[in-house]
Amino acid sequence: MVTSVLRYVEEHGTSIIAYWRDTYYVKTSEYQRRKQVPGFLEAKEQETLALFLKAHQQIQNGQIDYTIYEAIGEDRFDIQTPFSELVELPQTLCTAILEYLFEKIKSGDLMIPDETLFDYILLLRDIETRLRDGLVTGYLKQDGAAEFGAF
């Protein structure tokens, strides 16, 4: 029953996003260029959490509306996020989620059957792929996208 893991991730979303931020996001050039902008980091965290929870919800319903993620990709082009970082974003987010879950399992705070965890990992891979595809599609819609960023 993946539902129990979905519920756990949704309930701990803020902590998971904070873990992702501290472990992965602070290493990006996007963060380095904007860390002094008042409110940027908080807005980025809120956006990331909202997008992930939206994808979580949509995938449970069997569909993802790419237009939401395309708009984020377009925005990332506009703020000159390197393409390589855009592509890595869903991967680092999903890795952070798994690391968070594994730590909670190891500490005994989360007890789920292996089969449920495996099913969630497969679901998470699907979310990761769909998020990345939407972000990349939006990013590449922009004029000049082929010349911009580190491919």
What's the pLDDT tens digit per position in 9-63? 989 999 999 999 999 999 999 899 888 899 988 888 898 888 888 887 887 777 7
Q: Average model confidence (pLDDT) for the chain?
A: 87
User: 2-148 — its CATH code?
Assistant: 1.10.490
Q: How many residues does the chain have?
A: 151
Dist CA 61 CA 47 (whole Å): 21
The end-to-end CA distance of the chain, in Å, is 39
Q: Which residues contact 34 (CB under 8 A, 6 or more apart)?
A: 40, 41, 79
Give the pLDDT band (50/70/90) at residue 151.
very low
* Residue ranges of domains in the chain: 2-148
Overall pTM surpassing 0.85 (yes/no):
yes
Give the chain's radius of gyration (CA, Å).
Answer: 16
In the prediction, which pLDDT does 145 show? 58
